[in-house]
């Protein structure tokens, strides 16, 4: 049994629940079938197990450091070896067009594939994850020349990518980005134009500091392609004056040959609680270190139109947010499987009614409270994985659904589900990791067992790519009201369809759950109106986090009801193993409806009352 991911669960989600094979009827995926999908998942499982998981603890214990002699970043060799395997298998380009050397896989298969690596070693997986996001952005918003010069080497595994948004004074508030970009007046040199000048469009020179840059410096790739937010001269203040630039670590000529070192340097590594294997950097742009006197400035190339950088970057951010959610999910998932394995094998204690101290101890999985902790984890991590893959399928629909209406539906659902897909696993799959530690007891608190690392690693996910609070503002402040509430309406309709189907179930309990969900959605819609009826946006948004969490649990309840319907459709399975699998799904769904969904009521009460206890608290009272 893999302790990374249950393949049976993946198969259930992809083939039975999301019917991914239906995608092969679409032109873009026509060359695929179950066999090619399975082959990719097999490859992923094997590489993740053999090359990513084995050094997960090692790279945590031996985090990257700056070599004093030459300022380079030292990373244990296993990281590059693993990424090389990933790249050699073509996985970095799994979802890309064949014209880019890709496999043209559906996103839902691509994400299921990535899930293995995130479970095995989130820190090492972060390098290809960022590279893929970077490439997708340039493909969407960059020029053909930029795709040729930067994306193709990334897809060949030669270059890695980063995203450079934050600055020391501008984290959640991107409005305050200060990095400057000025048009380079010095393209003529040595009596002629430099070869790389026209290929990418005009050159700029960038000056500023970027903070929290994952994968920002290392020597594992020939080049690092930074995507950098900066301001042009005379740009409007705030978010409307931010442009996006490609700033490579090394300049590249039109033949793809690596040229001189660009003026972007490592100013320091951050030392984190977890995710230690991913370098996380403060980068200085344009301090002149690698340039001749008077020629400071990191050479950069504008992506898309001036001052439109933030919306382009959000293309990558939205993808990254769902990816962060998937990463959080997989840390929870592997923690669940590890603690389940441990619980089956650790003998301790006896049944409450067994008073014979000479009888054999039970495996702890037999204790009610350990079962509770395992079932809770299962309901969190399998629910979260289902949600993440559902979102991946929406990306496929957005791109390839049969008609415009279906595409639009997918976009609306994706818009409204993104903050949930990011925040819910970050909160609840971290809680799953806490429970995994608890199942192990004292052993789980030691670094001899992997669960404490999962817990440390996972704590990052509610912070990066938009904090929990930022997701809440995005949901309540933007997503549920945009297009006159169209996204919320679409979600409500989609949930209603599931509820409708569930009320027709032969099983009384399923019908009961359906009614419970319908009531919660009704309350949620009402509360949304109530909150927006408040004529002071500060007071409305004071409920944002409570609203987000209530919304998240409601969405997950829907995801579980939907899975339950698929289980019912499967009928009575032929083998014990299959029977147990479906029974487990039913039990996790049941757990979610009995133990989790009822938590929403207290949250909705608070929202309904428009509670502002925190907002009304003066700083001096704290």
Nearer to a copy of itself, 34 or 372 (CB): 372
Q: How far is the CB of 413 from a copy of itself (least distance, A)?
A: 26
Q: Is 599 in the site for a copy of itself (CB under 8 A)?
A: yes
d(CA 65, CA 76): 10
Q: Is 533 in the site for a copy of itself (CB under 8 A)?
A: no
> Out of 31, 88, 175, 500, which residue is the one contacting a copy of itself (CB under 8 A)?
175
Residue pointed to by tokens 């995801």: 559
Nearer to a copy of itself, 109 or 211 (CB): 211
Q: Is 71 in the site for a copy of itself (CB under 8 A)?
A: no
Q: How far is the CB of 605 from a copy of itself (least distance, A)?
A: 6
Q: Is 151 in the site for a copy of itself (CB under 8 A)?
A: no
d(CA 82, CA 51): 5
Q: Is 166 in the site for a copy of itself (CB under 8 A)?
A: yes
> Out of 219, 500, 515, 601, which residue is the one contacting a copy of itself (CB under 8 A)?
601
Q: Which residues contact 268 (CB under 8 A, 6 or more apart)?
A: 66, 281, 282
Cα-to-chain-centroid distance, residue 406: 24
β pairing state of 223-230 and 159-164:
parallel
> Out of 86, 129, 455, 547, which residue is the one contacting a copy of itself (CB under 8 A)?
455
* Touching a copy of itself, residues 268-287 (CB under 8 A): 270-274
Q: How far is the CB of 313 from a copy of itself (least distance, A)?
A: 17
Q: How far is the CB of 172 from a copy of itself (least distance, A)?
A: 6
Is residue 115 within 8 Å of 5, Cβ to Cβ?
yes
β pairing state of 192-193 and 188-189:
antiparallel
Q: Is 413 in the site for a copy of itself (CB under 8 A)?
A: no
> Out of 35, 69, 190, 620, which residue is the one contacting a copy of itself (CB under 8 A)?
620
Is residue 329 within 8 Å of 425, Cβ to Cβ?
yes
> Out of 309, 444, 450, 552, which residue is the one contacting a copy of itself (CB under 8 A)?
444
> Out of 115, 147, 211, 555, which residue is the one contacting a copy of itself (CB under 8 A)?
211
d(CA 367, CA 369): 6
**Size, binding site for a copy of itself by CB under 8 A:** 100
Task: Give the pair of three-digit tokens for residue 240.
Answer: 């409307």
Nearer to a copy of itself, 147 or 365 (CB): 365
d(CA 117, CA 49): 8
Rounded alpha-carbon distances, angstroms, from residue 345 to 236, 439, 440, 451: 63, 12, 11, 16
Cα-to-chain-centroid distance, residue 233: 34
Task: Give the pair of three-digit tokens for residue 395.
Answer: 């990306």
Angle between helices 576-591 and 544-570 (to 10 degrees): 150
* Touching a copy of itself, residues 326-345 (CB under 8 A): 340, 344
* Touching a copy of itself, residues 218-237 (CB under 8 A): 237
Q: Which residues contact 485 (CB under 8 A, 6 or more apart)?
A: 528
Three-state secondary structure call for residue 205:
strand
Q: Is 535 in the site for a copy of itself (CB under 8 A)?
A: no
Q: How far is the CB of 333 from a copy of itself (least distance, A)?
A: 13
Nearer to a copy of itself, 135 or 337 (CB): 337
Cα-to-chain-centroid distance, residue 75: 24
Q: How far is the CB of 322 from a copy of itself (least distance, A)?
A: 20
Q: How far is the CB of 563 from a copy of itself (least distance, A)?
A: 14
Nearer to a copy of itself, 71 or 441 (CB): 441
β pairing state of 203-214 and 280-285:
antiparallel
Residue 295: how many CA atoms within 13 Å on its side-chain side?
Answer: 13
d(CA 618, CA 318): 35
> Out of 188, 349, 478, 507, which residue is the one contacting a copy of itself (CB under 8 A)?
349
Is residue 470 within 8 Å of 172, Cβ to Cβ?
yes
Q: Is 522 in the site for a copy of itself (CB under 8 A)?
A: no
Stretch that binds a copy of itself, among 125-133, 193-201, 322-330, 437-445 (CB under 8 A): 437-445
β pairing state of 243-248 and 298-303:
antiparallel
Measured in Å, how far apart are the chain's first and last C-alpha atoms? Answer: 51
> Out of 197, 366, 511, 608, which residue is the one contacting a copy of itself (CB under 8 A)?
366
Q: How far is the CB of 124 from a copy of itself (least distance, A)?
A: 19
Q: How far is the CB of 548 from a copy of itself (least distance, A)?
A: 10
Stretch that binds a copy of itself, among 52-60, 113-121, 469-477, 555-563 (CB under 8 A): 469-477
Q: Which residues contact 589 (CB under 8 A, 6 or more apart)?
A: 379, 513, 560, 561, 563, 564, 567
Stretch that binds a copy of itself, among 30-38, 149-157, 416-424, 590-598 (CB under 8 A): 590-598
Q: Is 553 in the site for a copy of itself (CB under 8 A)?
A: no
> Out of 10, 374, 410, 561, which residue is the one contacting a copy of itself (CB under 8 A)?
374
């Amino acid at each position: 049994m893999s302790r990374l991911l249950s393949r049976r669960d993946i198969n259930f989600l992809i083939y039975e629940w999301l019917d991914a094979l239906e995608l092969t009827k679409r032109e873009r995926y026509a060359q695929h079938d179950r066999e090619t999908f399975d082959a990719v998942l097999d490859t992923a499982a094997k590489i993740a197990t053999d090359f990513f998981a084995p050094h997960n603890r090692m790279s945590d214990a031996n985090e990257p450091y700056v070599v004093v002699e030459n300022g380079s970043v030292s990373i244990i060799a296993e990281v590059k070896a693993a990424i090389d395997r990933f790249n050699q298998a073509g996985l970095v380009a799994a979802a890309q067009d064949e014209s880019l050397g890709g496999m043209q896989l559906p996103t839902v298969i691509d994400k299921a594939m990535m899930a293995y690596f995130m479970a095995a070693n989130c820190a090492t997986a972060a390098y290809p994850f960022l590279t893929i996001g970077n490439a997708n952005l340039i493909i969407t918003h960059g020029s053909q020349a930029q795709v040729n010069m930067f994306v193709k080497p990334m897809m060949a595994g030669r270059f890695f990518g980063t995203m450079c948004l934050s600055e020391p004074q501008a984290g959640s508030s991107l409005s305050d980005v200060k990095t400057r970009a000025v048009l380079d007046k010095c393209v003529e040199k040595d009596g002629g134009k430099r070869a790389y000048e026209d290929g990418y469009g005009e050159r700029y020179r960038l000056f500023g500091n970027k903070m929290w840059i994952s994968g920002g410096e290392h020597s594992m790739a020939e080049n690092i392609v930074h995507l950098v937010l900066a301001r042009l001269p005379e740009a409007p203040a705030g978010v409307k004056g931010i442009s996006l630039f490609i700033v490579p670590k090394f300049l590249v000529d039109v033949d793809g040959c690596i040229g001189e070192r660009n003026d972007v340097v490592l100013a320091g590594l951050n030392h984190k609680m977890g995710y230690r294997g991913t370098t996380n950097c403060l980068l200085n742009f344009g301090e002149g270190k690698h340039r001749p006197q008077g020629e400071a400035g990191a050479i950069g190339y504008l992506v898309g139109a001036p001052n439109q950088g933030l919306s382009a970057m959000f293309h990558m951010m939205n993808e990254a947010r769902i990816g962060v959610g998937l990463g959080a999910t997989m840390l929870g998932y592997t923690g669940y499987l590890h603690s389940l394995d441990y619980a089956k094998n650790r003998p301790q204690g006896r049944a409450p009614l067994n008073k014979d101290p000479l009888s054999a101890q039970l495996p702890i999985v037999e204790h009610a409270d350990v079962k509770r902790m395992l079932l809770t984890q299962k309901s969190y991590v399998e629910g979260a994985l289902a949600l993440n893959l559902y979102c991946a399928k929406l990306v496929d629909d957005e791109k390839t659904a049969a008609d415009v209406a279906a595409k639009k539906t997918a976009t609306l659902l994706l818009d409204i589900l993104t903050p949930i897909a990011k925040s819910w696993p970050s909160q609840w799959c971290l809680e799953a990791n806490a429970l995994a530690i608890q199942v192990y007891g004292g052993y789980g608190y030691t670094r001899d067992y992997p669960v404490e690392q999962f817990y440390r690693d996972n704590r990052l996910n509610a912070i990066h790519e938009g904090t929990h609070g930022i997701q809440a503002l995005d949901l309540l402040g933007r997503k549920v009201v945009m297009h006159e509430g169209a996204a919320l309406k679409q979600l409500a309709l989609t949930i209603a369809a599931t509820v409708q189907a569930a009320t027709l179930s032969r099983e009384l309990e399923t019908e009961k759950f359906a009614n419970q969900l319908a009531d919660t959605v009704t309350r949620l819609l009402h509360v949304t109106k109530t909150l927006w009826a408040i004529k002071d946006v500060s007071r409305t948004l004071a409920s944002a986090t409570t609203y987000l969490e209530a919304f998240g649990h409601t969405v997950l309840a829907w995801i579980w009801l939907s899975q339950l319907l698929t289980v019912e459709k499967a009928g009575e399975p032929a083998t014990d193993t299959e029977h147990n699998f479906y029974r487990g799904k039913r039990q996790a769904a049941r757990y979610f409806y009995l133990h989790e969904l009822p938590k929403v009521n207290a949250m909705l009460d608070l929202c309904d009352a428009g509670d502002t206890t925190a907002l009304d608290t003066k700083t001096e009272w704290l």
